[in-house]
Structure formats: C-alpha cells, structure tokens
Amino acid sequence: MRVVLFQSPVFTRESPAASLAEALAVPEIHLGDLMRAHLSQGTELGIRAAEIINSGNLFPDEMITAVIRDHLHRSARADFLLVGHPHSAAQALALDELLRELGTPLDSVLYLKLPERDVERHVHLLASRQGAANEIGVRLRFESHEAMMVPIAQHYAGQGLLITVDAVGTPDEISRRALTALRERAPRP
C-alpha cells in the first residue's frame, strides 16, 4: 500500500506515523531523513542541498521531487507511508507523475486533521513545552500548515484518494481510526 500522511505540526512529539507504518507493514519515509542522508553522504543532491541551505533559501520543488525520485528508484519496496510530503500542489502533481512513471500510484492520502475545538488546547500544550513566549509561533505554524493543506487536500480529494481522520486522542487511538478508515476505503477482493 502506498499512502501519503499529513498531520498537523502540533503533533511533532506525538505522531501516529510509526504505528501506522508498522500496522501497514510499510517503510515510513520522511523527506527530512532522505535529505539528511544525501547531505551526510555528500551525493550530488546533497551538495546542491548544502548550497541551498548555505544561501538561506528554501529547497525548490524540483530538488524535493529529485530526492523523493532517487529514494523510490533505489527502494526495493513499492509500498510506503510518505509522511508530510508533498508541501504544495506543484509537488503533489510531481509526485503523481513520478508514481505513474514507476507504475505505483498512490492508494490513499490520510489527512489527520485536528478539529477546530481542539486546536487551542494543542497549541497551548506545544507552546508550554517550548516556552510560553513561543505560543504565537506555534499558532502561526499551525495556521500556515492548514492554509498549505487546502490546495493539496483539494487535489487528492478530486482523485478520490483523500481520507480525513479526526486527530483527537492518543497516537495509538488516532492510528487505529486511520487504519479503520483505510481498510474501509480499500477495494474489496
């Protein structure tokens, strides 16, 4: 199964991604881990990434897609849980095209969405861990993430791939709800 997982940035410590990957028996892929591997190994992509980091710029969509492409081409497994990528509609289109080239389209896109009634509690909780002065930063990060998700969610909803799950409860509870939703959506044999 090939699944993209989006979750709110307020879940940085309490992510259900690992338990989801384990339950699905698929590798958990994080763009940051792939980028760090290229940097530490000094690959061509890593050298380009270091130049971009040193210039203070953001990684262009083409580079992010190249890192994902490199991993998927080298990976022995076609199944995965891709966490937090894509970050834009352009990256979503590039991922779709890459997976079409590989003959391995996405099965589902899970969006672990925090209901509005729980946003403030999670913002306060995360800010208290980071220091009360950071509450505005946490709230802005959350709002920015939610705004970024609108066109991506629309893109995948249009393909019939989007599954939205309430991100309330423990990571295990959220993971169980997500697995149930995935199984309900899966085609019957």
Binding site members for ATP: 121, 169
Please give the Cα distance from 107 to 188 (Å, whole number): 13
| Beta-bridge partner residues of 5 | 83, 110
Annotated binding residues for AMP, written as ranges, equal 36, 91, 141
Please give the Cα distance from 189 to 171 (Å, whole number): 30
Please give the Cα distance from 101 to 82 (Å, whole number): 17
Question: Amino acid letter at 156?
Answer: Y
Calculate the CA dihedral of residues 87, 92, 98, 99 and round it to 10 degrees.
Answer: 110
Annotated binding residues, written as ranges, equal 36, 91, 121, 141, 169
Backbone φ, ψ for residue 154 (5° rounding): -60, -40
